[in-house]
Amino acid sequence: MGKDYLYKMSGDELQSKTIDFLRFPLIVGVVFIHTDFSDIVMAGVKQISFASYPIFSHIFFLFSKVIFEVCVPLFFFISGFLFFYKTATFSTEIYLQKLKKRVRSLLIPYIFWNLLVILFLLLAQTFLSGSLVSGRNKLITDYSLLDWLWSFWDTSQVNSHLNKSLPINSPFWFIRDLMVVVLFSPIVFILIKKLKTYAVIIMGLLWIFNPFFYLPGLSTVSFFFFTAGAYFSINNKNFVSGKRPMLPIVVPLYILLVAAQLFFLGSRWWVDLYCAGIIIGLITTVSIAAHFIGKESWRTNTFLANSSFFIFAYHRLPLVFIIKFLFKVLMPQSEGLLLFLYLACPTIIIVLGLVIYSLLKQFWPRFTAMISGGR
């Protein structure tokens, strides 16, 4: 029968279905990335030291710091692809139209969800027991007008102990950086038109030389992967079709890269392995999804796909509270209990998010669409 029977649908259809299918699993990966017990502080006391739990720490690192690290770059890639999808030219009028759409899909949810977190933190600091709050952050009631403004962009300007430039709803650094890249999209378009593949290579080298470069709104990861996705759209290339035949090569290569990242942790060349792992991991993820979707073994669950933005937007603060609550109740001091919590906490948050999203969609569909960027 040959291999053609595996891929009955057209290339464009497979590409579209692959993008839709990946939305929810990638968000699940993001939630696991944030299920981090290394800095759980209650009433000023750090709860556990990873050095005391080597099995748990290795499993946590394998998934949250290696395998799931591909999720955000892949989201930037897909965002770049969709931004320029079927855009043959890029006039000022088209640019302004796209910016107008991103106000609804990015800016309005960005303002809403950051404001909501500020209000919830205000309630938590006012009414919850001191054992469930860290005690390290400035009280919302003590915020100046400038603090309020910074909380939407870079909370390290408000709380000096923070070493990352994140908005108060920390996962929204992705939306913040994406909005900045979108503002620079005419330059991305011109670079790709003029330099072709070299534009992607240049952005890629900037990322490889400093993959963890983050200024508020400017990051090498956002520009590189957004540009890479844009390259496929602008040049009318199907990024799924080209990856399907690579499956037998990229899967074993990715496994080797993951193993190498674990083995050489702390070495000088670990960052190079990390970057290679992200790129090959991205190709592997798309290849596997396309393979099984093409065989019609996997199908997109529309409800889960549509809920992805809501889960992303809502999960961080509830996740922190559920982790702290369960730590206070269970007081984990064993590898097994920590592993159980590592699975249980994100599962509880995702299931709860799906229930809330379903209720909101049922009773307040327009409001839900607004806070989910029209999704």
Packing angle, helices 108-127 and 316-330, rounded to 10: 30
Query: Per this entry, what is the length of the chain?
Result: 375
Using CA atoms, how far residue 35 sits from 68, 320, 324, in Å, is 12, 8, 11
Lowest mean pLDDT across 30-34, 157-161, 163-167: 157-161
Does 8 score more than 70 pLDDT? no
Please state, for a pLDDT cut of 90, what percent of the chain lies above it.
Answer: 71
For the segment 167-190, what is each residue's pLDDT rounded down to a tens digit?
999 999 999 999 999 999 999 999
Lowest mean pLDDT across 1-10, 68-77, 197-206, 226-235: 1-10
Strand stretches in the chain, DSSP E? 41-42, 45-46, 214-215, 218-219
For the segment 96-140, what is each residue's pLDDT rounded down to a tens digit?
999 999 999 999 999 999 999 999 888 877 876 555 555 567 888
Looking at residue 22, its pLDDT comes to: 97
Q: Average pLDDT over the chain, rounded to whole?
A: 90
Looking at residue 43, its pLDDT comes to: 59
Every domain of the chain and the residues it spans = 4-371
pTM confidence score: 0.92
CA 40 to chain centre: 21
Q: What is the mean pLDDT of residues 291-309?
A: 93
For the segment 22-58, what is each residue's pLDDT rounded down to a tens digit?
999 999 999 999 998 887 766 556 667 777 889 999 9
Sorted by sequence, the CB contacts under 8 Å of residue 177 that are 6+ apart come out as 217, 218, 219, 222
